[in-house]
Amino acid sequence: MKAVFISIRHQWCKLIAKGDKTIEVRKSEPKLETPFKCYIYCSGDGRSRVIGEFICDKIYYYSVGNVTGQTITSEEMERKSCLTRKELCDYENSAESKENCINLVGLFGWHISSLVIYEEPKFLRDFSLNIPPQSWRYVNDLEEVSQ
């Protein structure tokens, strides 16, 4: 079964681990049906490791502008992602334009549920990776590989 390996900056990992950040905002979404497993690669703290996993049980569609296709309010997105409207706007504006797109939603909010923070972090080699992805990539679910 496919899973997702997602790189998240250290500052956001701390908020996720505390339960404050329950939505991870991305410019794209996997071509997987929810729910799916995500492995959290904590980057940028000098000790980059896979610190845990979560189940993405829902993906919200969002745009700072008032457009068709949104599935979450601005207030909810700001609160659950721990980002300001300006940060969301800047991030959305840095995304490539989506041509031939029916709904004009620019950002995807990956809902974090069933969070597990590992006692002992895992390494890239455990996922047969040499370098972490810039954003995210597909991997095999470790539980299924070890069986």
Position 65 scores a pLDDT of 78
Which residue has tokens 């972090």? 121
User: Nearest 5°: phi and psi at 71?
Assistant: -120, 10
List, for residues 79-135, the tens digit of each pLDDT value: 999 999 999 999 988 866 655 554 456 899 999 999 999 999 999 999 989 999 999
Q: List 109's β-bridge partners, or say none.
A: 25, 60
Position 97 scores a pLDDT of 61
pLDDT at 144 over 90: no
Position 102 scores a pLDDT of 46
Position 70 scores a pLDDT of 86
Domains of the chain, first to last: 2-145 (2.30.130.30)
Which residue has tokens 């549920």? 113
List, for residues 25-67, the tens digit of each pLDDT value: 999 999 999 999 999 999 987 778 999 999 999 999 998 876 7
Position 50 scores a pLDDT of 96
Q: List 50's β-bridge partners, or say none.
A: 41, 122
Q: Which residues contact 110 (CB under 8 A, 6 or more apart)?
A: 6, 23, 24, 25, 26, 29, 38, 56, 59
